[in-house]
Amino acid sequence: MKILDVLPRETIIVDLKSNDKLGVLNELVVPMSGITGIPENKLVQILLDRERLGSTGIGGGIGIPHGKCKDLDSIIVGFGLSRNGVNFESLDGKLTRIFFLLLTSENSTGLHLKLLAQISGLLKKDTFKVRLLKAMNQDEIIDIIKSEDEEF
């Protein structure tokens, strides 16, 4: 499976408007709620519950909020860019600009961890991050991910 297999085009937001963690989570779940049929507030609560265990702002301008949902049958990924950066309580204290949101079913631990590792690995590549930050639309994001996307 590749990231683009679970990243629907409509879950890619290239210009997040929010300037805080809660706002970004609320924005990111809107298209996911539309696809999954799970209410936005429920998805946000799942993500906030996970954030209480420790911030998913991993540093380097990256946030990978994620959570498990019993009402979900498969994995779904969202993507967001904040042009100005957001205080996402990142481990390095810096603003977060690139977000990958992962939602998985409660029984998909192995796949969940593999996907997190795949995304984290890609985001360690500075050229990949720079290209994402310069992207202006969904098609550019898809092309950039496709150029680096491998099976996980």
Residues with catalytic roles: 66
Report which residue type is found at 30: V
Other CB atoms within 10 A of residue 103 CB: 28
Give yes or no for a contact between 120 and 64, defined as CB atoms under 8 angstroms apart. Answer: yes
| Distance in angstroms (rounded) separating the CA atoms of residues 6 and 61 | 23
Q: What is the distance between the alpha carbons of residues 70 and 81, in angstroms, rounded to a whole number?
A: 27
